[in-house]
C-alpha cells in the first residue's frame, strides 16, 4: 500500500426510509468507536465513508461498486437488511474486499461470499432459544407471524421446528410484507385462532407498530401472549411502546439493560454522544464490527489487503457490550450468548431485563 494512504471503510447503511433507525444506530456506534479508540490504527489514518442506500438493494450494490472502484475502500461494512448484504456479496468476492455485516441476520448471508464476516446475529440463534423456553412455560400452541423475507423465514422455520420437536404445535404461520406492512388483518386472524401465544419477528423499526396493534385488538385481554425475537422490543423504540409491552418475553443477543460493566460504560457513552438515544442491538453490531476491523488492521501491521484482513478477522475473541463474542473461523459468523428477557419498568423506563442465558450459541443454520 502507498505509504501514508488512509485506510478507508465504506459504511453503507439505510439512513432514510423504513430502516432509518438501523442506519442512525450503526453510524452513531461506529463514530463512538472511533472517538474512543482514535482514528489512527497501526500508523494508518482511518477514514469512514458513510453512504445512504435507503435500504434498496439496487442502491446498495451501486454504492458498493462505486466505493470499491472509485474510492478504493479497504473494507465494506453496514448492510441494514438481508437483500442489501446479498446484493453486495458478489462485489466483495470479485474485488476481494472484506464485507463486515453489522445488521442483516439471515443465516445464509455468510455463505454468499468468503469475504463476509458478521458481527450482528442470526435469526436461528435467537428463535431456537425461545422455542425451548415456551413449552416449559405452558406455551404449547403458537401461531407465528413474520416479515416475509430472509430473516422472517429463518425465524419461522427454526422456531416452528424446535417447538414441534419440544412437543408444541404451530397451527398457522403468517407472513407480512416487508414494505408498508399492515398487521391488522393478520392479528384478527390470530384472535380467531386463539393460540396460547403469538410468536413474532419483524425487522428493527417495525416493533412499535406490532405492539400498538396487538394492544388495540385486545389480544392480551383475549388471553393470547406475545413472544418475540428481541427485534420487536427493540431498545431504539421500547421506551415509547407503553404498558402493552410490559412482561413480553423475547430472546436476543443484546439488551441495553445487560448488567455488565462493559455494557454500562457503552450505554452511558453512547447516550452522552447521541442526545440520550438508547443504543439497540444494531448499534452493538456496528460497534463490534469496528472493533473487528481495527483488530484485523493491527494484525496486518497496518498493511491491510482483503484476504489478509479476513484471515485476521477469523477467530477473534473479545468482550462486547452484549457479553463474550467469538468470530467462528470456519463460518466467519458470530458466536455469542442468547438471553431470555422480559420487559419490565424500572425508574419509569421500559427495559428488556435478562432472566436466563444460553451460552456461546453458534448459528444453528450452518450445516458444517
Q: Is 104 in the site for ligand DHB (CB under 6 A)?
A: yes
Binder among 125, 204, 250, 316 for ligand DHB (CB under 6 A): 204
Contact mark string toward ligand DHB, 149..178, x via CB under 6 A: -xx---------------------------
* CB nearer to ligand DHB: pick between 33 and 121: 121
Rg over CA atoms, the chain: 20
Kindly report the number of other CB atoms within 10 A of residue 134's CB atom: 25
Residue number, nearest CB to ligand DHB = 203
Q: Is 251 in the site for ligand DHB (CB under 6 A)?
A: no
Torsion sign over Cα 235, 350, 201, 180: negative
Residue 347: all three cell numbers together = 425508574
With 0-12 / 13-18 / 19 or more C-beta atoms within 10 angstroms meaning exposed / middle / buried, residue 305 is middle
Q: Is 139 in the site for ligand DHB (CB under 6 A)?
A: no
Span from 101-109, 163-171, 264-272, 307-315 in contact with ligand DHB (CB under 6 A): 101-109
Contact 45, 7 (CB under 8 A): yes
Q: Is 231 in the site for ligand DHB (CB under 6 A)?
A: yes
Of 297, 285, 284, 288, residue with least CA distance to 75: 297
Q: What angle do CA 312, 315, 319 make, to 5 degrees?
A: 105
Contact 55, 18 (CB under 8 A): yes
Size of the site for ligand DHB (CB under 6 A): 12
Binder among 81, 92, 142, 174 for ligand DHB (CB under 6 A): 81
C-alpha 175/C-alpha 201 separation (Å) is 10
Q: Is 106 in the site for ligand DHB (CB under 6 A)?
A: yes
346 Cα distance to chain centroid: 25
* CB nearer to ligand DHB: pick between 127 and 274: 127
Q: Is 316 in the site for ligand DHB (CB under 6 A)?
A: no
* CB nearer to ligand DHB: pick between 79 and 309: 79
Query: In the bound complex, what is the minimum distance in angstroms from residue 169's beta carbon to ligand DHB?
Result: 26
Which stretches of the chain bind ligand DHB, using CB under 6 A?
22, 81-82, 103-106, 150-151, 203-204, 231
Amino acid at each position: 500500500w502507498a505509504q501514508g494512504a488512509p485506510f478507508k471503510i465504506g459504511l453503507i447503511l439505510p439512513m432514510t426510509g423504513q430502516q432509518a433507525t438501523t442506519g442512525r444506530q450503526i453510524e452513531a456506534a461506529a463514530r463512538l468507536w472511533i472517538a474512543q479508540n482514535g482514528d489512527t490504527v497501526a500508523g494508518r489514518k482511518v477514514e469512514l465513508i458513510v453512504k445512504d442506500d435507503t435500504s434498496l438493494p439496487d442502491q446498495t450494490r451501486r454504492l458498493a461498486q462505486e466505493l470499491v472502484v472509485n474510492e478504493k475502500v479497504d473494507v465494506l461494512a453496514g448492510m441494514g437488511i438481508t437483500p442489501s448484504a446479498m446484493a453486495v456479496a458478489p462485489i466483495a468476492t470479485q474485488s476481494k474486499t472484506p464485507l463486515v455485516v453489522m445488521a442483516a441476520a439471515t443465516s445464509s448471508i455468510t455463505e454468499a461470499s468468503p469475504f463476509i464476516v458478521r458481527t450482528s446475529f442470526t435469526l436461528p440463534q435467537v428463535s431456537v432459544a425461545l422455542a425451548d423456553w415456551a413449552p416449559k412455560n405452558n406455551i404449547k400452541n403458537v401461531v407465528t407471524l413474520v416479515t416475509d423475507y430472509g430473516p422472517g423465514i429463518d425465524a419461522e422455520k427454526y422456531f416452528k421446528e424446535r417447538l414441534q420437536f419440544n412437543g408444541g404445535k404451530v397451527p398457522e404461520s403468517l407472513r407480512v410484507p416487508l414494505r408498508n406492512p399492515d398487521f391488522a388483518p393478520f392479528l384478527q386472524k390470530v384472535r380467531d385462532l386463539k393460540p396460547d401465544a403469538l410468536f413474532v419477528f419483524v425487522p428493527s423499526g417495525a416493533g412499535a407498530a406490532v405492539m400498538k396493534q396487538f394492544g388495540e385488538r385486545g389480544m392480551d385481554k383475549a388471553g393470547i401472549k406475545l413472544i418475540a425475537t428481541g427485534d420487536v422490543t427493540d431498545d431504539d423504540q421500547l421506551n415509547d411502546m407503553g404498558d402493552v409491552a410490559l412482561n413480553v418475553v423475547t430472546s436476543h443477543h443484546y439488551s441495553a439493560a445487560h448488567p455488565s460493566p462493559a455494557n454500562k460504560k457503552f450505554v452511558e457513552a453512547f447516550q452522552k454522544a447521541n442526545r440520550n438515544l438508547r443504543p439497540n442491538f444494531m448499534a452493538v453490531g456496528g460497534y463490534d464490527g469496528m472493533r473487528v476491523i481495527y483488530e484485523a488492521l493491527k494484525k496486518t501491521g497496518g498493511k491491510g489487503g482483503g484476504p489478509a484482513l479476513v484471515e485476521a478477522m477469523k477467530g477473534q475473541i473479545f468482550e462486547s457490550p452484549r457479553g463474550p463474542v467469538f468470530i467462528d473461523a470456519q463460518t466467519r459468523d458470530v458466536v455469542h450468548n442468547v438471553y431470555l428477557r422480559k420487559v419490565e419498568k424500572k425508574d419509569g423506563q421500559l427495559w428488556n431485563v435478562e432472566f436466563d442465558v444460553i451460552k456461546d450459541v453458534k448459528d444453528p443454520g450452518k450445516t458444517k
